[in-house]
Amino acid sequence: MLIQAKHSTIHDLSTNIQINVVAKKMKPMKSNSTQIKKRFRGYLPLVIDLETGGLNAQTDAILEIAAIPIYMDKNKKLIPGPIFHEHIKAHPQTQIHKDALAVNKIKPDHPFRFAIDEYDMLTQLKQFIADVLKQHQCNKAIITGHNVTFDLNFIHAACARHDFKLNQLHTFSCLDTVTMGAMCYGETILARVVQAAGLYFNHDQAHSALYDTKMTAQLFCHIINHLDQKVSSTTQS
């Protein structure tokens, strides 16, 4: 049974404190594992977003991560899967910049973050990916996100710090909703692409890894489903 999220996040808008509460296990989502494997050549899209202590993957800390695999339902429509979400303690070798915290509103030392060590995050992420790959009979996960090479570089840097092998994730290939947004709507900023797609975006929750991952997963599914429908209609006509 997959875990939807070890911690779900409640945003206290009056203090901008993120309070974690334990979430229950969720039932496996009804999906068509064979079709998702065929749709992306054996890869499983895994939407990931990080909140960090700066812009330099080699020197700055990872403070929050969320990941959502993309599934396919019985109607061959892409849908967001279960959520992996963790707050992370800054690794001793990394830095946190005040200007980064001003954007993501994270309070690194707040006890209600229930942050875990970076190595433990990598271990849990690896198991999470392994479980969803097995469920859907896919070879590897392919990182998916908005400006996702930023996140991939931070993950590579964290793995290097711990000599950690995250073999389930493709080393360099990625699917980026920035490119998709530019192609489909002429927009590149996440909030603007989401709104151009006709979806709702809550600016008060932006720059949380959990919220941005949820919205990016919805956007990715929306665009691919729309394109698949158009291709199918064109083929049949």
Of 128, 133, 167, 161, the closest CA to residue 40 belongs to: 133
Q: What pLDDT sits at residue 36? A: 87
In a domain, 35, yes or no: yes
Q: And the tokens for 101?
A: 């915290």
Query: What is the DSSP track for 135-169?
Result: HHT-SEEEEEESSHHHHHHHHHHHHHHHT---TTE
pLDDT at residue 47 in the model: 98
Q: Which residues have a catalytic role annotated?
A: 207
Range of the domain at 133: 7-236
| Digit-coded pLDDT (tens) for 73-108 | 999 999 999 999 999 999 999 999 999 999 999 999
In a domain, 232, yes or no: yes
What digits encode the pLDDT tens for the residues 23-41? 333 344 555 556 788 899 9
Q: What is the DSSP track for the chain?
A: ---S-SEEEEEETTTTEEEEEEPPP-PPP---HHHHHHHTTTEEEEEEEEEESSS-TTTBPEEEEEEEEEEE-TTS-EEE---EEEEBPPPTT-B--HHHHHHH---TT-GGG--B-HHHHHHHHHHHHHHHHHHHT-SEEEEEESSHHHHHHHHHHHHHHHT---TTEEEEEEEEHHHHHHHHHS--SHHHHHHHTT----GGGTT-HHHHHHHHHHHHHHHHHHHHHHHHHHHH-
Q: Which residues pair with 169 in a beta bridge?
A: 141
- Give the Å distances, CA to CA, from 82 to 41, 46, 171, 184: 22, 11, 23, 27
1 falls within a domain: no
Please tell me the number of Cα atoms within 13 Å of 215 on its side-chain side: 25
pLDDT value of residue 22: 34
Kindly report the CATH number assigned to the domain that includes residue 137. 3.30.420.10
What per-residue confidence (pLDDT) applies to 68? 98
pLDDT at 57: 98
With a cut of 70, list the residues of the chain below it in pLDDT: 1-34, 232-237
The total domain count for the chain is: 1
Report CA 231 to chain centroid distance, whole Å.
Answer: 27
Asked if the structure places residue 85 within a domain, the reply is yes
